Chain A
Amino acid sequence: AQSVAQPEDQVNVAEGNPLTVKCTYSVSGNPYLFWYVQYPNRGLQFLLKYITGDNLVKGSYGFEAEFNKSQTSFHLKKPSALVSDSALYFCAVALNTNAGKSTFGDGTTLTVKP
């Protein structure tokens, strides 16, 4: 079985500071990893994915994530946070090529303060 852990329910950062939203996973096999963001009253939006290749993945809105196989982590990062980045972030893992059957984490609420 696969699982995802987002250890922080809430992350608070000041605008302009770097941000990290943590994600660890457990899967038997090669993982396919995703980050999604949900803004208030909106659907989930795809940010980025890791399938294979370079461990550092760049995505939408200036976000990036680093796949670390030894630590089974896929933390989401951004060098300089914006107030508009405030939202709910979900990490997801899929075991096979049907990425739609992903296992999601509980979500982390990011608040960026001016």
Chain B
Amino acid sequence: EAGVTQFPSHSVIEKGQTVTLRCDPISGHDNLYWYRRVMGKEIKFLLHFVKESKQDESGMPNNRFLAERTGGTYSTLKVQPAELEDSGVYFCASSHYSGTGAAGYTFGSGTRLTVV
């Protein structure tokens, strides 16, 4: 099966601009998660979709970040306007189940965002 696909793989934008990241989960996976790794530190949870609904968005840093999941398929994460501290690697993961019965979660390769 195809894995989780994220694009772009890299994005360099200027402070104040808008960037939209996309994640295509594995087909049939209802659960979709966004994470980010900033400054080479720990990977932090951003939010969790179940189908098209936001199950948990407690990790979203502020209202400059907007995540959507149209029709419960692919998801987008928009940063508007981008700030320097938003630079990092944004990961997406999907799973069929949200519980720990899942054999882990399938992650995408990530989008490396650089705000200059």
- Near A by CB (< 8 A), chain B positions 67-97 give 91, 93, 95
- Near B by CB (< 8 A), chain A positions 96-113 give 97-107
A43 and B110 in contact (CB under 8 A), knowing A98-B98, A99-B98, A100-B31?
yes
Q: Does B48 contact A (CB under 8 A)?
A: yes
A103 and B45 in contact (CB under 8 A), knowing A43-B4, A98-B99?
yes
* Residues in A neighbouring B40, C-beta threshold 8 A: 106-107
B108:A100 contact, CB within 8 angstroms: no
CB distance from B103 to the nearest CB of A (A): 6
A51:B100 contact, CB within 8 angstroms: yes
- Near B by CB (< 8 A), chain A positions 41-57 give 41-47, 49, 51
Q: How large is the interface on B (under 10, 10 to 19, 20 to 34, 35 or more residues)?
A: 20 to 34
A106 and B41 in contact (CB under 8 A), knowing A94-B100, A98-B99, A101-B48?
yes
Q: How far is the CA of A41 from the CA of B109 in the complex (A)?
A: 6
Name the CB-closest residue of B to A3. Answer: B42
CB distance from A111 to the nearest CB of B (A): 16
Q: Does B104 contact A (CB under 8 A)?
A: yes
A43:B106 contact, CB within 8 angstroms: yes
A103:B93 contact, CB within 8 angstroms: no
B104:A49 contact, CB within 8 angstroms: yes
A97:B4 contact, CB within 8 angstroms: no
CB distance from A95 to the nearest CB of B (A): 11
CB distance from A71 to the nearest CB of B (A): 21
Name the CB-closest residue of B to A101. Answer: B45
Q: Write out, one digit per residue, whether chain B residues 1-17 have a CB within 8 A of any chain A CB (1) or not (0).
A: 00110100000000000
Chain B interface residues (CB < 8 Å from chain A) = 3-4, 6, 31, 33, 35, 37, 40-45, 48, 56, 59, 91, 93, 95, 98-100, 102-110
26 contacts between A and B (CB under 8 A): A32-B100, A36-B107, A41-B109, A43-B110, A44-B107, A45-B107, A46-B103, A46-B105, A46-B106, A47-B104, A49-B104, A51-B100, A97-B98, A98-B99, A99-B105, A100-B31, A100-B98, A100-B105, A101-B45, A101-B59, A103-B42, A104-B35, A104-B43, A104-B44, A106-B40, A107-B43
